[in-house]
Chain A
Amino acid sequence: GQQLNQSPQSMFIQEGEDVSMNCTSSSIFNTWLWYKQEPGEGPVLLIALYKAGELTSNGRLTAQFGITRKDSFLNISASIPSDVGIYFCAGNQFYFGTGTSLTVIP
């Protein structure tokens, strides 16, 4: 299957810091999605991107669909403790990245 390279693998940050993570692929995708998974739960959709170059926000989260259609990034501004979890990118319907584990230190 398609391999999505997600980085960084893990992040440890202080509360209030901004966070940036990205996802790259060797293949072109028509859609990029970002999910968050909290401990003991299934992933929950955060943002969906449907056009190359698209920049979309959801509260403190901002995601962009790369112009080449082979990458996407997710930014979280002013992190808070409840941002803790694993963030997954997904290309099209069911190609997922390996996840970025985020820890926020109060």
Chain B
Amino acid sequence: DVKVTQSSRYLVKRTGEKVFLECVQDMDHENMFWYRQDPGLGLRLIYFSYDVKMKEKGDIPEGYSVSREKKERFSLILESASTNQTSMYLCASSTHRYEQYFGPGTRLTVT
């Protein structure tokens, strides 16, 4: 069974903290993605990666960075968390086709 796991289901952080969200997939997929999901806005792409050490900006990369040192792991970093980054964060992976497999999400609250 395909599996994408995210390090935390719920996180509460303070403004200004550095936040790491980890995502691991066990399907040997080349492509990995980070989205944020907000009510009424759907899923918005933050960053994606087509290969190890490779990253591309999505629609809303400001305030975020990513790291992909190994094929199975894709990390999202909030260098200095702000309250407007309170959201649900979803990680996904895919092969060369467009079908994505999502993790369960991390609900991040920044206070």
B42 and A42 contact, CB distance less than 8 A: no
Interface membership of A21, Cβ < 8 A: no
Chain A nearest CB: distance from B10 CB in Å? 10
The total of chain B residues at the interface (CB under 8 A) is 25
Query: Measured between alpha carbons, how far is A61 from B52 in the docked complex, in Å?
Result: 37
The residue in B58, B97, B99, B104 that gathers the most chain A C-beta atoms within 10 A of its C-beta is B99
Count how many chain A residues have C-beta atoms less than 8 Å from C-beta atoms of the other chain: 23
B102 touches A94 (CB 8 A): no
Residue of B40, B100, B101 most packed against chain A (CB within 10 A): B100
Quick check: A45 and B105 within 8 Å, CB to CB?
Answer: no
Q: How far is the CA of A88 from the CA of B37 in the complex (A)?
A: 12
* B contact residues around A96 at 8 Å (CB): 35, 42-44
Give residues 3-28 of A contacting B (CB, 8 Å): 4, 6, 9
- Using a CB–CB distance below 8 Å, which chain B residues touch chain A? 4, 31, 33, 35, 40-45, 48, 58-59, 90, 92, 94, 97-105
